[in-house]
Structure 1
Amino acid sequence: MKVLVLAQAYPTGKNPYQMMYVHARVLEYIRQSVGVTVMSFSCKESYDFEGVNVIPESYCDISQYDRVVSHAPNIRNHLRYLVANRKQLNRVTFFFHGHEALIKSRYYPGEYNNPKSTFNSVFKQGLDYGYDLTKLLLLRAFIRVFSSKVNLVFVSEWMKKHFELNVGEIPPSVDSVVIPNSANAIFIQGAWDSSSEKKYDFVSIRPLSGRKYAVDVICQLALDNPEKSFLLYGKGDYFDCHTQPVNVEWNNGFLQPSEIPRVLDSASAALMPTRLDAQGVMMCEMASYGIPLITSELDVCHEVLQGFEEVYFIDNDKPVLPVLTQSPQVVKNNVYSPVSLAKRELDFIAGG
């Protein structure tokens, strides 16, 4: 089976983080002997990234592929390209990860430093709302018109439910399935060192821009618990207008996946509050690694973390640190294994 993967962007040497969840899948497909080419709408020339062939749209002949996979489809590129090449298209599998199937203004809690009362902000919100309505109408039309060539993958039941609330009910002729994003293999193969001396009580790896990542909840917990120590990794502008608690050590930078286990081993628990997630891959990776995990009291968090031990849930509006188990035993759960999830995806992509 030859598979063409469509992505708005793809990791490069200069920006290895963008759409890494797509790259992780592609690597596993290749390991399972599937021929994969990635078409990135953002690239102008072909390049190789960690053994993956990435090409621009101008180099692509869709008729050469048995199946097409479209991650986070947008109307500007994905749907335009698929409609233009509809006669050569065998079958396309859409992967829905979040905002591409939502009216964002109804879900996303906004920015910390963005006064919504300004004219420019209100005008932009209006444009975004208009775009979201248009994208959902066109997405629904595409799925219905090309139902014999389309199937759908959702990263959670929450995502599927809200897809249907925003886009519309899935036609009976269209196959759909829930398959979550996998964890990086390093979190499956390794395990949190529960016996090592801990420098911090809690560790958080969160962007510091956007209220959805709930850094304010972390800081509130730090202020309410001055005897506890908190380590926060992430870039953003939150502390440009908020005071950094003295018991929060902030590292203004990114972590490579290979560095994260060492950071997790330095803490007694991971603190990962959120206001919105379609899955929350990082918290799933932390739970897979075995570190005690605190996250938010949201339906999606309960869904994706069911079956994991040492997981605690807090109220974002009135956060209180839970009482953690003393000397917790690490019990591994490999539900997010990239090997097994990639096989499920490939079986679904090949079907039909």
Structure 2
Amino acid sequence: MKILVLTTKYPKENETVAMMYVHTRNKYYVANGIDVTVLNFGASQGYEIDGVNVITKEEFRKSSYHYDILVSHAPNLKHHYLFLNKYAEDFGQMVFFFHGHEVLKRTDIYPPPYPYVKQSRLSFLNGIYDTFKLGVWNRFFSSNYKKCHFVFVSQWMGEMFRKYVSLDERTMEGRMSIVYNSVGSMFETLVFNGDKKKKYDFVTIRSSLDGSKYGVDIVTEIARQNPESTFCVVGKGEFFLHNPPPDNLIWVNKALDHMEIIEYLNDSRCALMPTRADAQGVMACEMATFGIPLITSDIDICREIFRDFGNVGFINNNDKSADVLGLLSLLEKSRGEKNQRFFASNTVGEEVKLFLTLVGMEHHG
């Protein structure tokens, strides 16, 4: 089976780790005998990474191609739509993966930014653009629905798609799948060491501290309310330059690789990962799968994602005096078997099955 994967960016050795969640999937596909080519709209020349062939739009145009399935990750208008408008009829099956804001009205979903984050003077146009974007996708999917399949990284994401792209329910019938993002392989195999002497009571790890949806202000307030506990926040950004942390909060201004993340988790009693909005929140899923007690926000998406995790507890984002220590002592008592919900076999494995089903339908159709 040959698939073409469309993506706006893609990892390149020693250069970028952009859209790593797409590469993680592709490596699994290759290991399962699927021939994968990635069309990276951001590449100026082709390259190979971990057995995955990456090409440019120009190289695609010049090639004589045949693919069983076209896969589009986080489709946007600028690249994906223009490509699809030109080439959609050349593909028998198209699978669209929705990871976040690409089918949302951002002004409805995301919280207002922190005051110090400079807003583009054009930011008010986001709402207008999103309305236009959703209308374009509605028309495209309505015209091509017979060969489209839609994959959402959470039930919540699927509901948002229904709400905002508002396709006819009959159009969607039998064409929707919920497949969660998988966690990094070492979170599958390694287990949290609860017995090791701890440096921190609570650790928060974020790729960026400046997005208000990541709730670093919530963590800071909880630290203030619990001066006897030690908090560690790891991540790059300017938040603490504008909001000096209390004495019991240590800020580590760096980005971590997987091995470093595991070291910080093993040095802590609990992961504190509040959020105001997310399509899934892979980092928190990795922590919960690893086995550390995790405290996150009591919002719909988090309830869905962690519904069967005994080591996860929930707090109200607006409760400044949330009893995180009381919650932690309950979570520490509930150590159980590793939860396999986000293992590759239960996530990307389902995508492979979907592709095989679609190709089978095509050949028998």
- In the alignment, which residue of structure 1 is the partner of 2:122? 124
- Supply the AA of the counterpart residue of 1:334: Q
Partner SS for 1:84: helix
Q: Contact (CA 8 Å) 1:95, 1:152: kept in 2 or not?
A: yes
Q: Does 1:216 align with 2:217?
A: yes
Q: Contact (CA 8 Å) 1:294, 1:313: kept in 2 or not?
A: yes
- In the alignment, which residue of structure 2 is the partner of 1:75? 77
- In the alignment, which residue of structure 2 is the partner of 1:56? 56
Partner SS for 2:308: coil
User: For 2:26 and 2:112, how far apart are their aligned partners in 1?
Assistant: 32
Q: Contact (CA 8 Å) 2:116, 2:242: kept in 1 or not?
A: no
Give, in angstroms, the shift of residue 126 of structure 1.
2.6
Q: Does 1:333 align with 2:339?
A: yes
Listed as ranges, the matches of 1:156-167 within 5 Å are: 156-167=154-165
Give, in angstroms, the shift of residue 85 of structure 1.
0.7
- Supply the AA of the counterpart residue of 2:142: R
Identity rate, percent: 38
Give, in angstroms, the shift of residue 104 of structure 1.
0.5
- In the alignment, which residue of structure 2 is the partner of 1:22? 22
Partner SS for 1:332: coil
Q: 1:127 to 1:62 in 2, by over 3 A?
A: farther
Aligned pair partner of 1:101 in 96, 100, 103: 103
User: For 1:87 and 1:129, how far apart are their aligned partners in 2?
Assistant: 31
Q: Contact (CA 8 Å) 2:233, 2:250: kept in 1 or not?
A: yes
TM-score (ref. length: structure 2): 0.91
User: For 2:117 and 2:230, how far apart are their aligned partners in 1?
Assistant: 31
Partner SS for 1:205: strand
User: For 1:208 and 1:173, how far apart are their aligned partners in 2?
Assistant: 40
- In the alignment, which residue of structure 1 is the partner of 2:352? 346
Q: Contact (CA 8 Å) 1:63, 1:88: kept in 2 or not?
A: no
Give, in angstroms, the shift of residue 280 of structure 1.
0.9
Partner SS for 1:269: strand
TM-score (ref. length: structure 1): 0.94
User: For 1:170 and 1:152, how far apart are their aligned partners in 2?
Assistant: 14
Q: 1:306 to 1:170 in 2, by over 3 A?
A: farther
Q: Does 1:312 align with 2:310?
A: no
- Supply the AA of the counterpart residue of 1:86: A
User: For 2:112 and 2:190, how far apart are their aligned partners in 1?
Assistant: 36
Give, in angstroms, the shift of residue 284 of structure 1.
0.8
- Supply the AA of the counterpart residue of 1:249: I
- In the alignment, which residue of structure 2 is the partner of 1:147? 145
Give, in angstroms, the shift of residue 15 of structure 1.
4.0
Cα deviation code 1:94-139 (max 9, x no counterpart):
00111000011111113213578xxx74x41232222111110111
Give, in angstroms, the shift of residue 339 of structure 1.
2.5
Listed as ranges, the matches of 1:239-254 within 5 Å are: 239-254=240-255
Q: 1:62 to 1:234 in 2, by over 3 A?
A: farther
- Supply the AA of the counterpart residue of 1:96: F
User: For 1:193 and 1:176, how far apart are their aligned partners in 2?
Assistant: 39
Partner SS for 1:343: helix
Partner SS for 1:12: coil
Aligned pair partner of 1:87 in 81, 86, 89: 89
User: For 2:101 and 2:351, how far apart are their aligned partners in 1?
Assistant: 21
User: For 2:64 and 2:101, how far apart are their aligned partners in 1?
Assistant: 26
Which range moved further: 319-328 or 244-253? 319-328
Give, in angstroms, the shift of residue 347 of structure 1.
1.8
- In the alignment, which residue of structure 1 is the partner of 2:270? 269
Q: 1:70 to 1:115 in 2, by over 3 A?
A: closer
Which range moved further: 107-116 or 217-226? 107-116
Please report the RMSD computed on the Cα atoms of aligned residues, expressed in angstroms.
1.7
- Supply the AA of the counterpart residue of 2:49: F
Partner SS for 1:274: coil
Give, in angstroms, the shift of residue 48 of structure 1.
1.7
Q: Contact (CA 8 Å) 1:6, 1:71: kept in 2 or not?
A: yes
- Supply the AA of the counterpart residue of 1:69: V
- Supply the AA of the counterpart residue of 1:215: V
- Supply the AA of the counterpart residue of 1:184: G
Q: Contact (CA 8 Å) 2:192, 2:291: kept in 1 or not?
A: yes
User: For 1:340 and 1:6, how far apart are their aligned partners in 2?
Assistant: 23
- In the alignment, which residue of structure 1 is the partner of 2:191? 191
Which range moved further: 174-183 or 290-299? 174-183
Structure 2: any 5+ residue segments left out of the alignment? none
User: For 1:14 and 1:127, how far apart are their aligned partners in 2?
Assistant: 36
Cα deviation code 1:45-75 (max 9, x no counterpart):
0112233211111111484211011000001
